[in-house]
Amino acid sequence: MDKRREDAHLDFRVVLANLCILTFLALPMSVSADPKLIAIEECQLNGFPLGGTIEEMRSALGEPDSVLPVLNTGDEYPHLEASYDGLRIVFSTRGQTALSYFVTSEKYLIRSGVGVGSTRQEIEGVLGPTSYYKSGDTVFMVYRLAGPGGRALPVQFDIRLQGDVAVGLSLVSR
């Protein structure tokens, strides 16, 4: 390799290494490695459980504003999304069970009373401290759900904070 090509190759490696370092530093950092496990029953939303049916949703939350198919999910089967003011619930169409929910309204609380408007201190007082990561001005508290016998489930419960106040909740099957 001639000297110019060798210098250019070395410059490229230095630039690539710096980009890798900058990318790593830009990633949200978790304060602790393992999110706290909480019982899946704790995350019932106004009495509606993850895995609940559309009929159970209507019984617990009333008639939704809309129920529409969700396309391009990348899954084998399409999903349905039920929408309320400040709440979206995603259902599998195959099993008609709730897979996830996303909350932005103070009307919807989990069993312990935590919801949008709760402070970090209130949340940690009820659910306990957990891992979190920061992205810009937003902090995400992360909890994992446990099923019978305390076995960890592939479900994550996130609480989005701005300042020290919850502005959103999400429960997502992974």
Tokens of 79: 């999903």
Q: How much is the pLDDT for 15? A: 34
Q: List pLDDT tens digits, range 20-38.
A: 333 333 334 444 458 999 9
What's the pLDDT at 72? Answer: 60
- Residue 77, pLDDT score: 67
The more confident residue out of 109 and 93 is 109
Burial class (CB in 10 A: 0-12, 13-18, 19+), 145: buried
pTM exceeds 0.85 for this model: no
Of 15-24, 73-82, 131-140, which gets the smallest average pLDDT?
15-24
**What per-residue confidence (pLDDT) applies to 109?**
97
d(CA 104, CA 116): 6
Q: Band of the pLDDT at 69, cuts 50, 70, 90?
A: confident
